[in-house]
């Protein structure tokens, strides 16, 4: 019985230490400013738009190639 109580106590101590570690790491984080967040969001959206356009062109090209090779029309 005493052995089980010690295991439970150790488990709770480890859980507490885990969350203390998380808390100390969160305090070290340097969060971006509002201006930086808007700028990063713009970069992400522009990159997504460029990739979408690139894949649309690629998809259209392959579709035209398949139409010519297989002699079909879409």
Please say whether the beta carbons of 63 and 74 come within 8 A.
Answer: yes
Q: What pLDDT is recorded for position 2?
A: 58
The CA distance from 69 to 45, in Å, is: 36
The CA distance from 34 to 55, in Å, is: 32
Per-residue model confidence as pLDDT tens for the chain (74 residues): 556 767 778 889 999 999 999 999 999 999 999 999 999 999 999 999 999 999 999 999 999 999 999 988 76
- Helix/strand number for the chain, H first, E second: 2, 0
Q: What pLDDT is recorded for position 9?
A: 82
């Amino acid at each position: 019985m005493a052995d089980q109580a010690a295991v439970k106590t150790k488990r709770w101590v480890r859980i507490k230490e885990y969350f203390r570690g998380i808390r100390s790491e969160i305090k070290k984080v340097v969060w971006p400013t509002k201006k930086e967040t808007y700028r990063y969001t713009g970069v992400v959206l522009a990159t997504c738009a460029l990739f979408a356009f690139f894949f649309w062109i690629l998809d259209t090209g392959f579709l035209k190639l398949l139409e010519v090779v297989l002699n079909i029309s879409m």
